[in-house]
Structure 1
Amino acid sequence: MEVNRRTALAGCLALGVTLGLAGTGSAAEADLTVGTFAKIYDPSVGESGPWYLNDHTFIRDLDGTWHVFGITHAEPADPDNEISFAHATAPDLHGPWTKQPFALTVDPAYGETHLWAPHVIRVGATYHMFYCGGGAESAVSAINLATSKDLFHWTRDPGGTLFHDGYDARDPYVIRIDGRWVLFYTGNTEPSGGNHVVLYRTSHDLRHWSDRDIAYVSPESGTWGGPTESPFVLRHGRYWYLFTGPRLGYAGTDVHRSDSPFHFDNADLVTHFPAHAAEVVRDHTGWYASHAGWGQGGLYLAPITWARPGGPADTPAGDDVGT
């Protein structure tokens, strides 16, 4: 099934569609439920008109301050001209959030054409930001790396782009699994198009990455956009969970469950909730899902309730993922 996601998403926005449908799984299937979303931050603060925050990432620094970074631009949606990353800080995950100067701005000399979907982790005393830098062709989209000691001043890796992939390879998410780094991202079965997939690569040093492999294949095909964006993989209890979207409209996220973080089946859908570019984060009060995007008015959080207790091997979220 060929899907023009750019047209579909623009149509959703034109109709004023924001939050999507209720969960598709039955109560017996739902490993988790997501509560009501509440706004925690508006990137329009200090601007002459409305701005949006799209794909984003949370990180808590060594002093306990929370940071959020994300795609940003003045409304309406203009993905090809998203050239700077928003940055805001807060003493608590729920705020109040203070707008900071842009964290990073596109560098044409580095081969960048836009800045999409940052993901930040801390390793020891160094923060690593993985992001999509675009490029001249969507089939060879760049995944780049910048590092920082304070989350305010960022330096691009002098070795250049980590790797290229397509179609519009983007939305990197890095986690440590069994002693190695794993970078999940969205793309297609072939760099030029095909089924929308969640891809992954592995590394021992965060700089040199393996060839691509596939963790999840959507039955939908196309090029731009697709339902495998914003992949977020976490472990809770004995299972691994994959969050992807947009599904059933612009603001919709599906959650699949697996015994392995490297293979998820369509039959293993456990729930659906109304959020776009959802991230999962936790603090001392519990687990939360986020929501943001074009025309959404800012950044939101909603509580996650798990049907079963977690364990000591649960994936960290919002803090460091390795030393």
Structure 2
Amino acid sequence: MNKILVIEDEFLIRENLLERLGSEGFDTLGAENGLDGVKLALADRPDLIICDVMMPELDGYEVLKTLRQNPNTAAIPFIFLTAKADKASLRQGMELGADDYLTKPFTKTELLGAIATRLEKQAVVAQHFEEELVSFVQSITDALPEELLSPIYQIFNLTQKLVDEHDSIAPQELLTVAEHINHSTMYLHRLMENFIIYSKLKSLNLNSQEVEVLSNCRTSNPNTVIVEVATQKATQYGREADLTLNIARAGVKIAEQDLRKIGEEVIDNAFKFSEDGTPVQIKATVDNDLFQLTVSNSGCAMTLEQIASIGACRQFEREFYEQRGCGLGLVIAKKLAELHDGQLIIKSAKTEPTTTVCIDLKCA
């Protein structure tokens, strides 16, 4: 049984609505002002809210704005009741995230039709989310055990070697074993970190207060962050001579930790999927208040189909490239760019074995 919250300060209208909805089999809640309505919505999580615009305490616009900023109520379908049907009023409500309007007076058919449409749409969204969740869980089930076990087995074998040969192992060999253990541990840490980040991004509501906070983040010196990350990755792969940097100076609208994460994943892929001695070119330009970062490498070109189907836990051409990883890094970078009102685009062609990742971010 769907639960509907009616927020209306006029007693007769509120009671009439509650009676009508109850007779149609809905579970109902009523609030006489916006403040009480917000409290009921947060406490009872209704399936749909019908709310008057002009009310004491909080008007309908403030009610909607408050609920859309809370991740627990942000996705609840919201229908305004109003005596004002002018374009400006409608636009104001729609920009805040209203799903529909009913203009007073309205008929029972109009009321039930609006409710049915919104609940059906919500059911479709819920079904889609459920299918995505099932797919995500299945991806983790398929990919995570193998990805976890590989470094764990390596760490186990190497530490077992130290135990078995502790009295005879040479210092240089000891150093080599320690470096391999360190490498496997770092890989394991990054793998788990990426799964945690991706899970958070998947569950992040686009209307939540957290996203609003992200939209106000700035990085004043992105060139410093990018140069630092690129240098670290080149050193990690022993390919300092392959790296070319040309980074413009401009502030960007993105949190520094998110810019760093994007850089780490995209630049790491550029080195991972290209041969020693081939160039990795990183360039950033500013054009019409847009900060455009490109990372290019030779090798491991992707088909248009592969580019179009970037998804979690998929590693392209795995049978040809033995590097480990579930393919989450590129997905995380793409989602982080989009969260900050930017975009990530991949350009690649088999005829020219090069891959270029383009990240567009707004200048601060």
Instruction: Using structure 1 for the length normalisation, give the TM-score.
Output: 0.24
Greater strand proportion? 1
Structure whose alpha-carbon radius of gyration is higher: 2
Q: TM-score, normalised by structure 2?
A: 0.22
The one of the two structures with greater contact order (alpha-carbon pairs below 8 A, sep at least 6) is 1
